[in-house]
């Protein structure tokens, strides 16, 4: 058993992390820290945990083996500056502070994409969890990048649920705006582009092609549906390409290539990434789907934790999805 602490315990990511860890047979949650809810019962904030825990929010940790940082972007560095952690305590940051700038005050963060950096994660003390859009896109294209096959422009249209914007309501997240509505935001400039590009280069793609990324806000709460295409004429036969993808992910417990078209509900509430591949007019078209709060955030963080502490990679993550 390991003792873990969650810092920033009131948001969607922390709520999802709590749901997973309460069912993890190798974890004791020693503290959940919040600056706004100290002394308050956790199940009064995360109402779906009523009857499952009597934990209350605290203002400090005790002696954790691992700390999950579920803080707003830019706040993890501030937390580490102001708090002295136990000497042997490991860290998984779910924000973006260390994804592209991994060295901080003598600590070097490993990028936590389990399907690419498994061995490094196993030996890591500090891990930077990838972003949700980035995870969905990287898993779709990583096999091609590993063989230096991303040579033409890559086009990505991806739509995300409202939970991707966080719990605090805003002009584009409240019900009246989001319901029966779709909109584009941060076209060609999304912050996840940097970690996507860095990962493809490190995987073996010697020159990064133009990545044209159009993120969209969807009128649903959770999940990411990405439609991705690039030129593919004559590179590899259709059959060999699909076989290559399946072989590439054959040892992954959570990434699967579907022979049939896929839909978003098939991954919601799970740690899966599902891929579907088709070929049209000299292009390869890849559909990639994840749950932004699970494989795109808290589930992947637990997968990283399992690797860091020598647990089976799937422990606590055999979650029940529902396609209806």
Catalytic site residue from 70, 114, 132, 273: 132
Q: What is the C-alpha to C-alpha distance for residues 95 and 75, in angstroms, rounded to an integer?
A: 8
Report the DSSP beta bridge partners of residue 275: 257, 288
CA distances from 224 to 70, 118, 122, 215 (A): 20, 23, 27, 10
132 is catalytic: yes
Residues serving a catalytic function are: 132
């Amino acid at each position: 058993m390991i003792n873990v602490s969650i810092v920033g315990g009131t948001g969607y990511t922390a709520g999802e992390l709590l749901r997973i860890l309460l069912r993890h047979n190798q974890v004791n949650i020693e503290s959940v820290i919040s600056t706004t809810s100290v002394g308050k019962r956790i199940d009064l904030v995360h109402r779906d945990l009523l009857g499952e825990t009597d934990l209350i929010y605290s203002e400090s940790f005790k002696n954790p083996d691992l700390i999950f940082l579920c803080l707003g972007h830019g706040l993890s560095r501030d937390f580490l500056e102001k708090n002295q952690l136990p000497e042997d305590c490991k860290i998984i940051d779910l924000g973006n502070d260390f994804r592209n700038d991994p060295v901080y005050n003598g600590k070097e963060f490993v990028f936590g994409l389990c399907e690419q950096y498994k061995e490094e994660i196993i030996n890591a003390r500090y891990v930077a969890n990838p972003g949700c859009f980035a995870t969905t896109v990287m898993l779709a294209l990583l096999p091609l990048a590993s063989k230096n096959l991303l040579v033409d422009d890559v086009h990505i249209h991806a739509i995300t649920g409202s939970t991707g914007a966080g719990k605090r309501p805003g002009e584009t997240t409240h019900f009246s705006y989001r319901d029966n509505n779709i909109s584009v935001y941060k076209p060609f400039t999304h912050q996840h582009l940097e970690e996507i590009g860095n990962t493809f280069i490190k995987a073996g793609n010697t020159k990064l092609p133009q990545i044209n990324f159009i993120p969209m806000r969807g009128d649903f709460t959770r999940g990411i549906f990405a439609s991705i295409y690039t030129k593919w004429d004559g590179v590899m036969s259709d059959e060999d390409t699909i076989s290559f993808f399946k072989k590439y992910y054959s040892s992954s417990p959570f990434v699967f290539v579907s022979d049939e078209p896929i839909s978003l509900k098939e991954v919601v509430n799970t740690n899966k990434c599902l891929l579907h591949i088709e070929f049209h007019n000299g292009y390869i078209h890849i559909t990639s789907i994840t749950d932004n709060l699970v494989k795109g955030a808290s589930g992947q963080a637990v997968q990283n934790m399992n690797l860091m502490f020598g647990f089976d990679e799937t422990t606590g993550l055999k979650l029940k999805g529902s396609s209806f």
